[in-house]
C-alpha cells in the first residue's frame, strides 16, 4: 500500500475529529473570538456526526472487500445509518429506500431528479483517496460511483473528487501546487475550474474570512464547501489544530468543512500530528484507529 500507516490513521482521525470539533458551530458564524478559546474549553466527549459515520462506511466496505463494491458500500451506509447523527434530508430519504430494498441506482434520484449536489458524498470520500492513491483512473471512477450511491449530480461527484484526489496527492508526496495542477487536469466542470483558480489567487496573500466565503462559499452544497476545505488545508497545512480553527472561523457547514480539511491535514501530518488530548476525547477513537490500520493492510 502506498503511503504510511500513520498517514492513514492521521487522515481518518483528522476527518472524525474535524467533524466532532466543527459540529457545535454548524449553521452559524463566521466566528472570530470564539475560535481563539475553542481548544481551551473542549467538552469531555467529542461526538461525531453523519460525516464520520458515512466515512466509516466507506472505509469498512473498502477494507472488507479489499476493493470497491458499490452494492456492499450502499448496504454499509444503510446499516450504519443513525438518524441522530444529523444527516441531510435527501440522504435520509435515499438511505431509507436502500434499507427497504430499493436498489441504490433507483433511489439516488428519488428526491432530486437530477441527483443531489449536497456535500454528503465529498464529506465521506477521503478513504477512497487513501485506498486508490496510486491509480488515478480508478480513483476517479470509484469516487464517482461511490458518490452516486446517494449523490448522483456531477457537482457532488466532482466535489468528492477534489477531496479524494487531494488525499491521493498527499499520499504520493505532491506539493500543494502540484495537487492544484493535477486537479485542473482532471476536473471538468466550469464551476470547479473557477474555484481552483480562486484557491490559487487566495493563497497568494492573506485573505479575510469574508473574501474566502465570497469566493469559495461555506454552505452544504458540494461546490460551496469542498473547495473551501481544500483552501483551508492548503493554508493550515500540517498544523492540524490551526486548520480546524480556520475552518470553524469560516462558519456555515463547519462540521463538514472541518471533516474534509481535517482529513487532508491529518493525511499530511500523520498520526503524530494530531494532538493526543483530542484523540482521547473522540468518540470511538479506538475503532477509527483500527479501521485505518485495516484499510492500510487491505490494499
Ligand atoms: N444535515 C446536516 N445538518 C443539519 C442538522 C444538524 C443538527 N445539528 C442535527 O443534529 O439535527 N448536516 C449534514 O448534512 C450535510 C450533507 O447533506 P447531504 O448528505 O448532501 O444531504 P442532501 O439533502 O442530499 O443535500 C443537502 C441539501 O442541499 C440542497 N440540494 C442538494 N441537491 C440539490 C438539488 N439537486 N436541487 C436543489 N437543492 C439541492 C438541498 O437543500 C439539500 O437538502 C452536511 O452538512 C452534513 O453535516
Ligand atoms: Mg454532519
Ligand atoms: Mg455539515
User: 160 exposed, middle or buried (CB, 10 Å; 0-12, 13-18, 19+)?
Assistant: buried
For 110-142, how does the pLDDT look when each residue is reduced to its tens digit (9 = 90+)?
A: 999 999 999 999 999 999 999 999 999 999 999
pLDDT, residue 36, reads 66
Asked if 196 and 184 count as a contact pair (C-beta separation under 8 A), the reply is yes
Q: How far is the CA of 204 from the centre of ligand 2 (A)?
A: 31
Domains of the chain (ranges plus CATH)? Answer: 5-298 (1.10.4080.10)
**Nearest CA owner, ligand 1 atom 41:** 118
Asked if 264 and 296 count as a contact pair (C-beta separation under 8 A), the reply is no
pLDDT, residue 43, reads 84
| Ligand that comes closest to the CA of residue 52 | 2
Q: Which of ligand 1's atoms lies nearest the C-alpha of 219?
A: 45
Please report, rounded to a whole number, the percentage of residues in the chain having pLDDT higher than 90. Answer: 92
Name every protein residue with a CB atom under 6 angstroms from any ligand 1 atom: 26, 49-51, 86-91, 112, 114, 116-120, 123, 153, 220-221, 253, 255-256
φ and ψ at 252, to 5 degrees? 75, -125
CA distances to 60, 62, 260, 295 from 67, in Å: 10, 5, 22, 10
DSSP string, 21-42: HHGGGTTB---SHHHHTGGGS-
* Average pLDDT over all residues of the chain: 96
For helices 5-22 and 50-65, the axis angle rounded to 10 degrees is 160
Q: Which of ligand 1's atoms lies nearest the C-alpha of 93?
A: 23
CA 61/CA 159 separation, integer angstroms: 21
For 104-118, how does the pLDDT look when each residue is reduced to its tens digit (9 = 90+)?
A: 999 999 999 999 999
Confidence class of residue 68 from pLDDT cuts 50, 70 and 90?
very high
For 177-197, how does the pLDDT look when each residue is reduced to its tens digit (9 = 90+)?
A: 999 999 999 999 999 999 999
| Ligand that comes closest to the CA of residue 86 | 1
CA 252/CA 230 separation, integer angstroms: 16
Residue indicated by cell numbers 467533524: 19
CA 96/CA 82 separation, integer angstroms: 11
Asked if 111 and 146 count as a contact pair (C-beta separation under 8 A), the reply is no
User: Would the pLDDT of 50 be above 80?
Assistant: yes
Residue indicated by cell numbers 429506500: 97
Q: How far is the CA of 122 from the centre of ligand 1 (A)?
A: 12
For 254-268, how does the pLDDT look when each residue is reduced to its tens digit (9 = 90+)?
A: 999 999 999 999 999
Amino acid at each position: 500500500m502506498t503511503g504510511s500507516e500513520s498517514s492513514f490513521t492521521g487522515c481518518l482521525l483528522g476527518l472524525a475529529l474535524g467533524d466532532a470539533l466543527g459540529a457545535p458551530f454548524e449553521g452559524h458564524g463566521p466566528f472570530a473570538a470564539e475560535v481563539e478559546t475553542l481548544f481551551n474549553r473542549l467538552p469531555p466527549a467529542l461526538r461525531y456526526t453523519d460525516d464520520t459515520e458515512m466515512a466509516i462506511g466507506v472505509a469498512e466496505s473498502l477494507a472488507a472487500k479489499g476493493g470497491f463494491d458499490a452494492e456492499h458500500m450502499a448496504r454499509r451506509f444503510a446499516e450504519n445509518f443513525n438518524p441522530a447523527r444529523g444527516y441531510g434530508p435527501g440522504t435520509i430519504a435515499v438511505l431509507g429506500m436502500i434499507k427497504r430494498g430499493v436498489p441504490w441506482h433507483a433511489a439516488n434520484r428519488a428526491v432530486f431528479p437530477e441527483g443531489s449536489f449536497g456535500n454528503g458524498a465529498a464529506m465521506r470520500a477521503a478513504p477512497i483517496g487513501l485506498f486508490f492513491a496510486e491509480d488515478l483512473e480508478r480513483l476517479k471512477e470509484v469516487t464517482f460511483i461511490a458518490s452516486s450511491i446517494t449523490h448522483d449530480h456531477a457537482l457532488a461527484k466532482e466535489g468528492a473528487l477534489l477531496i479524494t484526489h487531494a488525499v491521493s496527492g498527499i499520499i504520493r508526496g505532491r506539493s500543494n501546487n502540484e495537487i492544484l495542477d493535477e486537479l485542473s487536469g482532471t476536473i471538468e466542470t466550469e464551476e470547479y475550474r473557477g474555484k481552483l483558480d480562486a484557491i490559487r489567487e487566495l493563497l497568494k496573500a492573506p485573505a479575510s474570512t469574508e473574501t474566502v466565503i465570497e469566493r469559495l462559499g461555506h454552505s452544504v452544497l458540494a461546490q460551496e464547501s469542498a473547495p473551501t476545505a481544500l483552501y483551508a488545508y492548503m493554508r493550515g497545512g500540517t498544523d492540524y489544530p490551526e486548520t480546524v480553527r480556520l475552518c470553524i472561523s469560516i462558519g456555515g457547514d463547519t462540521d463538514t468543512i472541518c471533516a474534509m480539511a481535517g482529513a487532508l491535514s491529518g493525511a499530511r501530518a500523520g498520526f503524530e500530528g494530531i494532538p493526543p488530548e483530542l484523540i482521547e476525547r473522540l468518540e470511538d477513537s479506538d475503532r477509527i484507529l483500527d479501521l485505518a490500520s485495516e484499510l492500510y493492510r487491505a490494499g
